[in-house]
Structure formats: C-alpha cells, structure tokens
Amino acid sequence: MAWDTTDTLGKGDVVSNESLANLLREERRFAPPADLAAHANVTAEAYEQAKADRLGFWAEQARRLTWATEPTETLDWSNPPFAKWFADGKLNVAYNCVDRHVEAGLGDRVAIHFEGEPGDSRAITYAELKDEVSKAANALTSLGVQKGDRVAVYMPMIPETAVAMLACARIGAAHSVVFGGFSADALATRIEDADAKVVITSDGGYRRGKPAALKPAVDDAIARVDRVEHVLVVRRTGQDVAWTEGRDVWWHELVEQQSAEHTPEAFDAEHPLFILYTSGTTGKPKGILHTSGGYLTQAAYTHHAVFDLKPETDVYWCTADVGWVTGHSYIVYGPLANGATQVMYEGTPDTPHQGRFWEIVQKYGVTILYTAPTAIRTFMKWGDDIPAKFDLSSLRILGSVGEPINPEAWIWYRKHIGADRTPIVDTWWQTETGAMMISPLPGVTETKPGSAQTPLPGISATVVDDEAREVPNGGGGYLVLTEPWPSMLRTIWGDDQRFIDTYWSRFEGKYFAGDGAKKDEDGDIWLLGRVDDVMLVSGHNISTTEVESALVSHPSVAEAAVVGAADETTGQAIVAFVILRGTAAETADLVGELRNHVGSTLGPIAKPKRILPVAELPKTRSGKIMRRLLRDVAENRQLGDVTTLTDSSVMELIQSKLPAAASED
C-alpha cells in the first residue's frame, strides 16, 4: 500500500515552487484528547531529543530490541548512498517478534485473532506462535533452505503467511512475498529475479464468498522459471490442486511433524531480511532490499509511537494485505516486535455484507484501526448508516496509509468511525522507506484533515524546488529525505546502479522517490501525489490531489480521479472521473454544479474541462487508482497494460461513455 515510485526523474520534470498552487486552505484543527496526551508513549520531547542527537536517538530506539551482540556503532555512512545501521550488532528478528515475549511470561497473550472470510476464527497466543514458527523453521531447513537463500511466499491473508515469514527470518533466509492477486507472469518474474529456492503457497484463499485458487499460478510460474526445488502448500480451502511428486509438499504433513524446538541464530544487523518488489515505470519490477536491525528498530518504534500502542490493553488491526509493505511492517514485524494483540482478516470488506469491517471491530473490541483512503472513500459511498449499526466505541486511534487522504474523507472517518473523538494519524512512507516517515503523533499533534504534517522524530524530510533549495512556507515542490534513516532500503536487489539512478540522482545527496509536496503556512507537509500527477494548465501547476479533494468535498461525490489531458489551448486540460453517492442522480445540472464547486473551492483555473460520472474507477489489486489508463481514455489513446487491474471491464465502460461527456470550452 505504500506508493510505487517512478524510475529516474530527469531534469525535465520541473515542479516550480512559484507555480505549484497552494489552492486548498484547511482551517480545521483537532487537538489530541487530553487523556491520551497525558499518557502518550511519545511526547513533544522526542522531537527535541532527536534534533539534539539524531544518532543517539536511534541508538536508544534500537535498545528496545533484544540483541545477542549489542551494537556499538549506530550509522556507517562512509559510502553513500549505501547505509549500514548498527552494523556490528547481531540479533534474530523472529526471536524479537516471538520468543522474547514468551520468555517474559507473556506466552498466554493472544498474538493474532484470525478471522476467516467464511466466518471461521482462531486465536493464536505468543506461545503457540513460537511453536509454529519453530516447526516451520525446521521444515524449511529440512527442504534445504539455508542462511542467505531466498524463499518466495504467495499466500492469502492467513496466519501461516506470518508464520512463514518469521520462519524465514529465524533461519536467515530472505523472504520475497508476492501479493496473492498477482498473475503467474508477475510471480515468475519475481521468483526468477530473487532466485528463490522454495515457494510457500496455499491451495487458495477465500475472497468475496468463494475460494480463489493460488496454487495454479505457482505451477505456471515455476514452469517458466525452472529453478524452484520445493513448493510448500498450506491447505486452506480444500480445492483440488495439481501435484508434482518430489517437488510439492503439504504444510500440514511436513510442518506439523517437526519439533517445536528450534534455537534461533543471531545474524548481523545488515543481514538481508526481505526483498519486496515494487513496479517501476520502465523495465522489470524493482526488488527493494531491507535488512534486519535498522528495519526492525524503526518498524517497532514507529508502531509504538504513532499508534501509542499499549500492548497490555490494545487490540490493533491493520487491514492491509501482508503482500504489501504495510503488511510487512505493520502486521508482521512492528506489532509482533512490540508484543501486540492484533486482528488478521482474510477477506474483503463487503463479504458477506458491507458492514463486515465494523462487525469485526465490534467483535474483537479493536482499539487501533489502520486502513487506506481507498477503503474509507468506499465506506463513504456505501453510506453512513452502515457503520452506525455497530458498536465502534472501543476505537481510540485511527490511521490512514497508502496515498494522500482527501480532507472530506478524513472528516468522515473521524466522525462516522471515530465518533468525533479519535485522533487520525495520516502516515506517509513507501516500500522503499520501510517504515513510517511523516505522521502526526496522536498525543502531541494538533491534526489537520488531509495533511501528514510533520516528519517523525529522527527523520529529516523537507520540500525543495527544482534547484534543491528548501521552499518557504506556502511553497510547493519535491519531497526529499536529507539524512539516512534506519529502515531505509539498502539497494535494489542485484542492481546497485539502478538504486543510485532511481533514488539519488535527481538531487545530490538527497533521497527523492517522486512525490510532490507543499508546505502550508504553518510549515506542515501536504503530500500531492506523484510528481507525474501534477497538471500544467495555462502555465499553472495544479495537483490532481487538490482537485480530487475539492470534488469529494461536494455532498454528491463519493470518489474522484483527476487527470491532465493534452489540450491545444491550455497545454493540459483537467478531466475528472467521479463516482456519485448512492442517492445522487447523474444530470447535466449536477456536472455543471460540480465544475462550479471546484472553481469556488480552488479558483477558476482548477475547474475541470470535462467531468464524467462513472460506476467504478480502474484500480489495481492494492486499491490504487490507475490514472495512467484514465489519461489514455481522456486523450483518446489505445489503452496501456490493464493486467494489474482488479476488473478490466471497468475501462470498457468508461471508454464507451466518454464521447458523450459534456465539455466546457
């Protein structure tokens, strides 16, 4: 769910701080609840502490982990941009996530409340999780997996997915988790690039009320790659599966017969923990490499700080899939390192009904909820009455991740899910950053709808113009990270030069991964999406995010996607695709009203030339809107690749409708 990055952005990609209009002005403010602020894990002092001694601050956070060999050196930045954090320290990540809690007498604490889509459920304690991870580690060893090998994981959202990842970490094998919605082609590319020795998969998982097969895609992928030695298969749905004797092994037969005794080995802090692929705009996907000590330090600290986690009493739920970085950092590693009790849900939010998420919150007494703006806007579209049927009073903190959140979606989330009392932490980070980088702190920050606001303690982020000068308050430009951070990607797997070219070549000595941002008059940071989502209209740079937010602030609009289309007169014209709320009727009057609403909210320059009401928007399996395809439609081009869409028929409907859409000259 963290944002994909473009490959290299050249000098031609200019976003001027003079012309990147700071169109949206947000005046609403929400102070932290007094009781939360009084007992917050992290206070305003953390900013001062980190500012005074950044490396000392991160060394202190590393001490929250259990090390076999304590590190004496915090950061080695002698060969930038290749960082080494806590390099002379040794630890075992799985031990930190499981064993140490059992040894501390917390073995009976529930680690995972699993809720299957069909309604089956399991509660797994830390003691049980330790046994399962140990058995899986022994099983992988019996299949010939050794320290330094790679293991691909292609699984549904079930506890065995987390067990598999932790088992890899326990024996020092890097895992490469591939989201279960990806095709055999995508899986084959990732297996080949990582040179995976073993694939862990399932017969399938449940999605929208029926079994969705996974094993066939693995079989197809391996047929193209021909280097995988074994496939370890979890039985989840009971579907028939093709079987290759000698290669394929049932999890329940191999893992369950293993000993629950396994002594974890301590590995160097810079030992590879996982590779996670993120798409590039050109060429093959980029294998983002994360290592052990620095990554776990920051994943655990940010989970503790941003969610104000009280592991004795909180029930935490991150709704992401483990196949994305959000699931790695804030389902598996961060929460378990902190001894949290969490919910893991297998299915979709509308199965068997549109209140399923709220039913789960009510059932488990969820106190912290972390989800995506795409989901929040979907809930808005379904109607306020659905969450109102459930008791959501247990919630005390709400989080948002994956893309900028529109102010109106933020307000809806706070009002209808948080009863107008819960802080919202809007978190900016990426696959590449490994952990949260910019976010409010719930006991400290006076929050603003739509703004990620402030770099976390120990993080150096700012907004610069095209000449790498920091922009003043009120200015816009590029978001950059100016100092290394513990959970940063170490390289692109097998391609150091691409790592340098993609992230470090645009601004010397600064990390830039393609996001536009602005500072408001208070100096708070607002993310504006990818720099290629900034439109140049009659000489004015206008952010698609701001136009989308203006549209969604109209009571008839549930969701909006905006693109810039080539225009002979203005250079680019603004074209908007909107999903109307349930009761709104699609009329010419409404389209005119929406256009004027944007004009009055942002100014006449931001009024869309065309607005097209649609039933659905084209989205990837991770929930991101494919604006590239909408741009193809708006410019009457042949559609690009639609293989990553959840439903490619959406594009046919939009294409057929566009010619009739009224245009304002």
Known binding positions: 207-210, 326, 402-404, 426-431, 515, 530, 538, 552, 554, 557
Q: Helix, strand, or coil here: 472?
A: coil
Residue 330, phi then psi, degrees to nearest 5: -125, 15
Q: Which two tokens stand for residue 501?
A: 């070219």
Structure tokens of 13?
């990609």
> Which residues, in sequence order, are CB contacts of 285 under 8 Å at separation 6+?
186, 189, 190, 193, 277, 278, 279
CA distance 272 to 171: 11
Residue 508 neighbours by CB under 8 Å, 6+ apart: 468
Q: What one-character DSSP code corresponds to residue 439?
A: -
Question: Residue 256: CB partners within 8 Å, gap ≥ 6?
Answer: 135
The residue assigned the tokens 């502490």 is 49
Residue 83 class from Cβ within 10 Å (0-12 exposed, 13-18 middle, 19+ buried)?
buried
- Binding-site residue numbers for CoA are 207-210, 326, 538
What are the φ/ψ torsions at residue 365 (nearest 5 degrees)?
A: 65, 45
The DSSP bridge partners found for residue 560 are 578
Please state, in angstroms and rounded to a whole number, the distance separating the CA atoms of residues 539 and 544.
Answer: 15
Q: Which residue has the tokens 């000595």?
A: 509
d(CA 113, CA 54): 37
Judge residue 393's burial from the number of C-beta atoms within 10 Å of its C-beta, 0-12 exposed, 13-18 middle, 19 or more buried. Answer: exposed
CA distances from 554 to 53, 163, 320, 581, 591 (A): 46, 45, 28, 10, 11
- Residue 498's SS3 state is helix
DSSP state of 581: P
Q: How far apart are CA 620 and CA 324, in angstroms?
A: 13
Which amino acids are annotated as binding site for ATP, given as ranges? 402-404, 426-431, 515, 530
Q: Is the CB of residue 76 less than 8 Å from the CB of residue 94?
A: no
Torsion angle in degrees (nearest 10) through CA of 14, 18, 19, 24: 120
| C-alpha–C-alpha distance, residues 480 and 478, integer Å | 6
* DSSP β-ladder status, 286-291 and 491-492: antiparallel
Looking from the CA of 253 toward its CB, the CA atoms found within 13 Å total 6
DSSP helix/strand/coil, 139: helix
Which of 421, 422, 455, 450 lies closest to 440, judged by CA?
455
Q: Two tokens at 600?
A: 């009055």
Which residues 6+ apart lie within 8 Å of 259 measured at CB?
134, 135, 138
Rg (CA), the chain: 24
| Helix, strand, or coil (residue 242) | coil
Binding-site residue numbers for Mg(2+) are 552, 554, 557
- Distance CA(564)–CA(560), nearest Å, equals 14
CA distance 384 to 587: 24
Which residues, other chains included, contact 449 with Cβ-Cβ below 8 Å and sequence gap of 6+?
26, 28, 30, 405, 407, 408, 410, 411, 414, 424
Residue 478 phi/psi, 5-degree rounding, is -110, 140
Residue 581 to residue 559: CA distance in whole angstroms: 8
